[in-house]
Amino acid sequence: MIRFLELVRKEARAILTDPVIMLTVLGGVVFYSFLYPLPYSGQVPREQPVGVVDLDGSVLSRQLTRWIDATPELQVCARPGSIGEAEALVTRHELAGFVVIRENFRRDLLLGRPVHLAVAGDATFFLVYGAVAEGAATAAGTLGAQIKVGRLLASGQEIRLAARRWTSFGLNARPVFNTTLGYVNYVVPAVFLLILQQTLLIGLGVLGGTQNARRLRGERGYWMDHPAWQVLTVRTLIFLGIYAVLFLYSTGFCFEYYGVPRHAAPGELLRLALPFLLAVIGLGTVLGQLLERRDLATQIVLFSSLPLVFTSGFVWPEHLVPAPLLALAALVPSTPAIQAFLRLNQMGADFSQIAPLWTQLWVQAVVYGLLAWWLLRRNARSAAGAVEGETFSHSAR
């Protein structure tokens, strides 16, 4: 028991006094929790600059221009004299798009001829393009409805009926779960889980890599003097303790701070977090045992971040990702964890629905745990063998 407590003390000291581990684990999680959502804090693109090429110069064209300006998405910043001029402004990235009101706009509308409103948006940026399309459609729809209602009224219809009849049936398309289509709500839940995983992997990878490097230099360390299962247990418990707090910080405090919806009960989230963190700790320990230098973990984990984000299914639909890449991604805890977490906490699924993903995390936790134990034992034994060999050669000399 005393030996076990000794192990706890030494392991805790190895973790807590390593500046790289602390900088990554505590510094990383807190720093990223502020930096990552920063560019998105506006949530949705607003007041994108557009130009109106008004070749009609009528009352109706000016009214349309005002309506475009009044939409939350758009702001009329320029009145280019020609389409070419407007295009040049988009090319120079000064305008997000433009609307062309052609000659005889008012006349054709009043005559009941179909009028096409030419809208151009910069499709290099999807959100900007979407804002231009949406804003222009709203403004055109408002003017179109007004004209149609006017026509129906002129043909002798009652106003309420006329207002309702400007199209045969309506579409009420409503986004659910992230009802404002806010970007923070979109990015934060998934990315924060990935940040927890990546910093934890780096922490364990640095710890393992450092101890391997020392072992390869022929040093003995406390981690070789105890059975591998004890080292693994202590390491797991210490990191689990730290990350339980960081998990609560990220998904509790930060979600509250950023106003990200929280549909799941804290107990359910912790139930999901347990196999997730255990699987990551197992994987991180495996990674640490395979590395022979203390600086490699940061690099490997850093390079894996973007591929992991884009195969986890929240940006790009899973069924469009090539199968071999999906299979690779399924080996990493963040993939099922992000999917399960988003369903549970952002989309209000109940726990029974995410059970397959939860099971996947437990399988990972067990497999990586066993692999970690085996590697720890193998490395400790090979060191013991080397030391014995050395003693032997010394005595022989």
Partner 1 sequence: MAGPGLGSTVRREVAAWGRDPWQLALVSWLPLVLFAMLWWIFSAGIVTDIEVSVVDLDGSRLSRSLIRALDATPALRVAHHPGSVLEGRRALSNAETGALIVIPYDFQARVTEGLKPEVTAFYNGQFILVGKAIKAALVQAQGTVAATVDGARVLAKGVPIPGAAGLAAPLVPQITPLHNVSMNSALFLVPAILPALWQVIMIVGMINAIGRELREGTWNAWLAAGPFRAWAGKMLPYVAAYWTLGALTLVFYRVLGWPVRGSWTILLGAMALAAVATAVMAGALYVAVRDIPRALSLAAAYTAPSFAFLGITFPTNNMPAAARLWRELIPVCHSMDVQVLEMSRAAPLAAAAPHLGALLVFLGVLPLVLLRLTPLPEEEPR
Query: Per CB under 8 A, which of residues 274..313 are in contact with partner 1?
Result: 294-296, 298-299, 302-303, 305-307, 310-311, 313
CA distance 391 to 249: 50
| Long-range CB contacts for residues 390-396, cutoff 8 Å, separation at least 24 | 390/218
- Residues of span 229-268 touching partner 1 by CB under 8 A: none
Instruction: Based on the shown chain and the rule CB under 8 A, indicate whether residue 160 belongs to the binding site for partner 1.
Output: no
Q: Does 221 interact with partner 1 (rule: CB under 8 A)?
A: no
CA–CA distance from 8 to each of 97, 200, 231 (Å)?
62, 19, 8
Q: What is the spatial distance between Cα 323 and Cα 306, in angstroms, rounded to a whole number?
A: 18
From the CB of 8, what's the least distance to partner 1, in Å? 25
Of 5, 79, 104, 167, the residue at the interface with partner 1 (CB under 8 A) is 167
In the complex, minimum distance from the CB of residue 326 to partner 1, in angstroms, rounded to a whole number? 9
CB of 270 to partner 1, least distance (A): 20
If the CB atoms of residues 48 and 211 are measured against partner 1, the closer one turns out to be: 48
Q: Which of 12, 321, 371, 384 binds partner 1 (CB under 8 A)?
A: 321
Between residue 57 and residue 96, which ones bind partner 1 under the rule CB under 8 A?
A: 87, 90-93, 96
Nearer to partner 1, 3 or 92 (CB): 92
Smallest gap, in angstroms, from Cβ of residue 233 to partner 1? Answer: 26
Contacting partner 1 within 328-367 (CB under 8 A):
339, 342-343, 346-350, 353-354
Contact (Cβ atoms closer than 8 angstroms) between residue 173 and residue 181 = no
For partner 1, the closer of residues 65 and 230 by Cβ is 65
Which residues ranging from 93 to 152 are in contact with partner 1 (CB under 8 A)?
93, 96-97, 109, 112-130, 132-133, 136-137, 140-141, 143-144, 147-148, 151
Nearer to partner 1, 17 or 168 (CB): 168
**What minimum distance in Å lies between the beta carbon of 110 and partner 1?**
10
List all residues 6 or more positions away from 37 whose beta carbon is below 8 Å from its beta carbon.
184, 187, 188, 258
Q: Which is nearer to partner 1, 117 or 216 (CB)?
A: 117
**8 A C-beta contact, residue 29 and residue 250:** yes
Residue 142 in tokens:
């408002």
Element housing 225 (H / E): none
- Nearer of residues 175 and 267 to partner 1, judged by Cβ: 175
Q: How near is the Cβ of 177 to partner 1 at its closest, in Å?
A: 4
Please tell me the count of residues contacting partner 1 according to CB under 8 A: 113
- Residues 34-53 close enough to bind partner 1 by CB under 8 A: 35-36, 38-42, 45-46, 48-49
DSSP secondary structure code for residue 223 in this structure? G
Q: Render the burial of 169-207: b for 16+ CB within 10 Å, e for the rest.
A: eeeeeeeeebeeebbbbbbbbbbbbbbbbbbbbbbbbbb
- Residue 216 token pair: 């390869």
Q: Applying CB under 8 A, which of residues 17, 172, 393, 395 lies at the interface with partner 1?
A: 172
Rounded Cα gap, residues 198 and 318, in angstroms: 21
- For residues 208 and 287, the answer to whether their CB atoms sit within 8 Å is yes
Element (H, E) at 97: strand 97-101
CA distance 341 to 194: 11
Closer residue to partner 1 (CB): 168 or 395: 168
CB of 396 to partner 1, least distance (A): 29
User: Any contact of residue 385 with partner 1 (CB under 8 A)?
Assistant: no
DSSP state of 13: H
